Structure 1
Amino acid sequence: MTRPSLNDLAAFSAVARHSSFRKASDALGVSRSSLSHAIIGLEARLGVRLLNRTTRSVSPTQAGADLLERLDPVLRDLDDALDSLSEVRGRPSGILRINANKSGARILLREVVPRFLANCPDVELDLVSEGQLVDIVKQGFDAGVRLLEAIPQDMVAVRFGGEARFIAVAAPGYLRENGRPRTPQDLQAHVCIRQRLPSGKRYRWEFARRGTEVALDVPGALTLDDNDLLAEAAAAGHGIAYVPEHFARPFLDSGQLCTILEDWCPAIDGLALYYPRNRHMPSSLRAFIDTLRAVAPGA
């Protein structure tokens, strides 16, 4: 049997971890066709099928799962060994992959990324912004960014950006025509713009005041899956939206939106960057965290 190349083994690991040729090709920066050819060649050299492929999904066979279980620690050790050379040279290098929600990505791009890239010119930062929570270890990320309350307890969290707040907002014209709700229960008689979560479920609006908590599946004919679009739709008069204050702020400042139920919308713990507790920290991630603590408020 011909010994497979390291690149082919890394390609197999990426496809298996992402359960997708498209996502793996994006992560590796190669075309899907070249990645597919690499896997076909690897299976031919090993004489065993490693992946089950359908038109909708990719999953490891039992042989593939066994190989992946033993291969991933080897690839991590190799990455750690190569990263140690960066520490010897005193300059971080390589690819730093961070998965973030849109709010977190915006703050990082505005306040942290410019200085980090200026200080670490040998690092390629891959900042992936998507709405759904992912397993950052399984998906091959070095770190993630989410609300502190959504971060798994076995992760190390570095807070930044201060507290967060979800607020209910509506256009002045909508409130003139339909009145202003005084309690969360009043929303049942209003037109609300609902939000679809990445899981497919609709988001239940959560309010709290003086120890009383209320969660509502509000009524409404329009459902969106993006906070920017929710704020824009509310500003256009389509109903009441419930969004992180950051997304509504431009419309509030311009007078296109008004806040409602303010005393039912308390601040919560804000964003945090998180990473695995028991894994070697790449020098690039250490440098990014140092920059985050130096630049971002609350870090």
Structure 2
Amino acid sequence: MLVRELEPRFRGIEEAIEGLNEFRGHLVGRVRITALRDAARLLLAPKLPAFLAAFPEIEVEIAVDDKFVDMVAEGFDAGIRYGGTVPEGMIASRLSDSLEWVIVGSPGYLKDHGHPKHPEDLSSHKCIRIRLGTDRIYEWEFEHQEKRLTIDVPGTIILDDSELSIRMAEAGVGLFYCLKARVEAQLSSGSLVAVLPEWISPGPGFHAYYSSHRQVPSALRAFLDHLRG
């Protein structure tokens, strides 16, 4: 509540900094971002070094967390999430192309349990279930020839970290639903195998989101433009 009451004063400070940036001719400031783990690994990690080199007087702080946060209360300038999961009332801005998803399992698991031929076959499989940042368990989504299915898959393990989930899939614990980019190396090496590829459609890319009640600082605008590049 106190942070919200002080927000108009923060806006005044931001506007003053913006004026100084115009006077200097180069950007100075601070950017605080909350980002999903996958966004941090796949989007931020490859692009952040070049941004820091190009804008040495902009301080960047990134909090990596899959849980939703109150950006105003926590003092973040923007968040990065999958498109379609941006909180209501926020301005969303696309940062990446559509994302490819995949269901994977180890060769050993598939030898023992067989390859599912249809999403409904998952009822007889072991799946690594995913707890989302909203605290709900993710229901796996499928689409094929305009037919859509959402399945609450079975499984005795629930994780909220994709890295650990991938390791569990490699160990034969069960099938896992994740971004294809996270398992490219495993698919290439053969330690994981894709199943039901014809039922998985690309999803919305990573999106930035920020308050509609605040001016977008030049430093944040430069940061988001760099991520889109």
- Percent of aligned pairs sharing the same letter: 38
The CA deviation string for residues 235-284 of structure 1, in whole angstroms up to 9 with x for no partner, is: 11111111121222221111100000111111111112233344212121
Deviation at 1:164, TM superposition (A): 0.9
- Equivalent position of 2:187 in the other structure: 252
Deviation at 1:112, TM superposition (A): 2.1
Do residues 233 (structure 1) and 158 (structure 2) align?
Answer: no
Do residues 107 (structure 1) and 42 (structure 2) align?
Answer: yes
- 1:105-144 superposed matches below 5 A: 105-144=40-79
* Residue pair 1:167, 1:243 contacting (<8 A) in 2 also: yes
Count of aligned pairs between the two proteins? 229
1:177 alignment partner AA = D
1:208 alignment partner AA = E
* Residue pair 2:4, 2:72 contacting (<8 A) in 1 also: no
1:141 alignment partner AA = F
Distance 1:73 1:163 in 2: 36
The CA deviation string for residues 15-73 of structure 1, in whole angstroms up to 9 with x for no partner, is: xxxxxxxxxxxxxxxxxxxxxxxxxxxxxxxxxxxxxxxxxxxxxxxxxx4x6554221
Q: Secondary structure at the match of 1:198?
A: coil
Q: 1:162 to 1:102 in 2, by over 3 A?
A: same
- 1:1-299 superposed matches below 5 A: 65=1, 68-152=3-87, 154-294=89-229
1:222 alignment partner AA = I
The CA deviation string for residues 143-201 of structure 1, in whole angstroms up to 9 with x for no partner, is: 11111111246444332332112221101111111111111110111111112223433
Root-mean-square deviation (CA, aligned residues, Å) is 1.9
* Structure 1 spans left out of the alignment, 5+ residues: 1-64, 295-299
* Structure 2 spans left out of the alignment, 5+ residues: none
2:47 alignment partner AA = V
Q: Secondary structure at the match of 2:143?
A: strand
Q: 1:268 to 1:198 in 2, by over 3 A?
A: closer
The TM-score normalised by the length of structure 1 is: 0.71
Distance 1:112 1:134 in 2: 24
Larger radius of gyration: 1
* Residue pair 1:103, 1:246 contacting (<8 A) in 2 also: no
Q: 1:126 to 1:200 in 2, by over 3 A?
A: same
Distance 2:105 2:194 in 1: 7
Q: 1:228 to 1:85 in 2, by over 3 A?
A: same
1:147 alignment partner AA = Y
Greater share of residues in helix: 1
* Residue pair 1:107, 1:161 contacting (<8 A) in 2 also: no
Q: 1:270 to 1:84 in 2, by over 3 A?
A: same
Larger RCO: 1 or 2 (CA < 8 Å, sep 6+):
2
The TM-score normalised by the length of structure 2 is: 0.91
Q: 1:83 to 1:255 in 2, by over 3 A?
A: same
